[in-house]
Protein backbone atom coordinates (compact mmCIF):
# COMPACT_ATOMS: atom_id res chain seq x y z
CA UNK A 1 0.00 0.00 0.00
CA UNK A 2 1.16 3.48 -0.86
CA UNK A 3 2.18 5.58 2.13
CA UNK A 4 1.05 9.14 2.71
CA UNK A 5 4.28 10.89 1.68
CA UNK A 6 4.59 8.82 -1.49
CA UNK A 7 0.95 9.53 -2.37
CA UNK A 8 1.41 13.28 -1.83
CA UNK A 9 4.62 13.32 -3.90
CA UNK A 10 3.02 11.35 -6.74
CA UNK A 11 -0.07 13.57 -6.65
CA UNK A 12 2.02 16.78 -6.74
CA UNK A 13 4.21 15.48 -9.56
CA UNK A 14 1.17 14.50 -11.62
CA UNK A 15 -0.38 17.95 -11.12
CA UNK A 16 2.87 19.55 -12.36
CA UNK A 17 2.81 17.31 -15.44
CA UNK A 18 -0.80 18.20 -16.12
CA UNK A 19 -0.01 21.90 -15.70
CA UNK A 20 2.62 21.51 -18.39
CA UNK A 21 0.22 19.56 -20.63
CA UNK A 22 -2.43 22.26 -20.25
CA UNK A 23 0.09 24.99 -21.13
CA UNK A 24 1.13 23.12 -24.28
CA UNK A 25 -2.50 22.66 -25.29
CA UNK A 26 -3.24 26.35 -24.70
CA UNK A 27 -0.38 27.31 -27.01
CA UNK A 28 -1.63 24.98 -29.72
CA UNK A 29 -5.19 26.29 -29.46
CA UNK A 30 -3.98 29.83 -30.15
CA UNK A 31 -3.50 28.78 -33.80
CA UNK A 32 -7.01 27.36 -34.24
CA UNK A 33 -9.87 29.00 -36.12
CA UNK A 34 -12.42 31.00 -34.17
CA UNK A 35 -15.19 28.45 -33.47
CA UNK A 36 -12.85 25.60 -32.62
CA UNK A 37 -10.63 27.95 -30.67
CA UNK A 38 -13.49 29.28 -28.53
CA UNK A 39 -14.81 25.80 -27.77
CA UNK A 40 -11.40 24.40 -26.87
CA UNK A 41 -10.50 27.44 -24.76
CA UNK A 42 -13.70 26.92 -22.76
CA UNK A 43 -12.81 23.28 -22.28
CA UNK A 44 -9.29 24.18 -21.17
CA UNK A 45 -10.64 26.80 -18.76
CA UNK A 46 -12.95 24.19 -17.25
CA UNK A 47 -10.03 21.80 -17.06
CA UNK A 48 -7.96 24.38 -15.20
CA UNK A 49 -10.82 24.88 -12.73
CA UNK A 50 -11.03 21.16 -12.12
CA UNK A 51 -7.24 21.05 -11.72
CA UNK A 52 -7.48 23.80 -9.08
CA UNK A 53 -9.98 21.69 -7.19
CA UNK A 54 -7.51 18.79 -7.26
CA UNK A 55 -4.83 21.12 -5.87
CA UNK A 56 -7.13 22.08 -3.00
CA UNK A 57 -7.74 18.39 -2.31
CA UNK A 58 -3.98 17.77 -2.31
CA UNK A 59 -3.50 20.62 0.16
CA UNK A 60 -6.15 19.11 2.44
CA UNK A 61 -4.37 15.75 2.29
CA UNK A 62 -1.06 17.45 3.11
CA UNK A 63 -2.65 19.14 6.12
CA UNK A 64 -4.47 16.03 7.32
CA UNK A 65 -3.41 13.73 10.08
CA UNK A 66 -2.58 10.06 9.65
CA UNK A 67 -6.13 8.91 10.40
CA UNK A 68 -7.99 11.20 8.02
CA UNK A 69 -5.68 11.22 5.00
CA UNK A 70 -6.97 7.84 3.78
CA UNK A 71 -10.54 9.11 3.86
CA UNK A 72 -9.51 12.20 1.93
CA UNK A 73 -7.58 10.01 -0.52
CA UNK A 74 -10.67 7.92 -1.23
CA UNK A 75 -12.72 11.07 -1.84
CA UNK A 76 -10.07 12.38 -4.22
CA UNK A 77 -9.78 9.25 -6.35
CA UNK A 78 -12.97 9.88 -8.37
CA UNK A 79 -11.95 13.48 -9.09
CA UNK A 80 -8.51 12.23 -10.13
CA UNK A 81 -9.94 9.67 -12.55
CA UNK A 82 -12.42 12.18 -13.99
CA UNK A 83 -9.67 14.74 -14.55
CA UNK A 84 -7.36 12.19 -16.14
CA UNK A 85 -10.13 11.22 -18.56
CA UNK A 86 -10.99 14.83 -19.40
CA UNK A 87 -7.41 15.90 -20.05
CA UNK A 88 -6.91 12.85 -22.26
CA UNK A 89 -10.06 13.61 -24.27
CA UNK A 90 -9.14 17.26 -24.77
CA UNK A 91 -5.59 16.36 -25.67
CA UNK A 92 -6.88 14.05 -28.41
CA UNK A 93 -8.91 16.92 -29.88
CA UNK A 94 -5.94 19.27 -29.91
CA UNK A 95 -3.27 17.03 -31.46
Rg of the chain over all Cα atoms, to the nearest angstrom: 15
What mean pLDDT, rounded, does the chain reach?
91
**24 and 60 in contact (C-beta within 8 Å)?**
no
Q: What is the pLDDT of residues 18-55, one digit of tens each?
A: 999 999 999 999 888 888 889 999 999 999 999 999 99
pLDDT value at residue 58 = 92
Q: How confident is the model at residue 15 (pLDDT cuts 50, 70, 90)?
A: very high
pTM above threshold 0.85: yes
The ranges assigned to domains in the chain are 4-94
Helix axes 4-29, 66-94, angle to 10 degrees: 20
pLDDT value at residue 34 = 83
Helix axes 34-63, 66-94, angle to 10 degrees: 170
pLDDT value at residue 71 = 86
pLDDT value at residue 73 = 87
Q: What does the DSSP assignment read for the chain?
A: ---HHHHHHHHHHHHHHHHHHHHHHHHHHTTS-HHHHHHHHHHHHHHHHHHHHHHHHHHHHHHS-HHHHHHHHHHHHHHHHHHHHHHHHHHHHH-
Q: How confident is the model at residue 67 (pLDDT cuts 50, 70, 90)?
A: confident
Amino acid sequence: MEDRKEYIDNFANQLKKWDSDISVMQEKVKNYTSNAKIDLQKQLNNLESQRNILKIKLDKIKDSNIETWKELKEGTEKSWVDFKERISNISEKIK
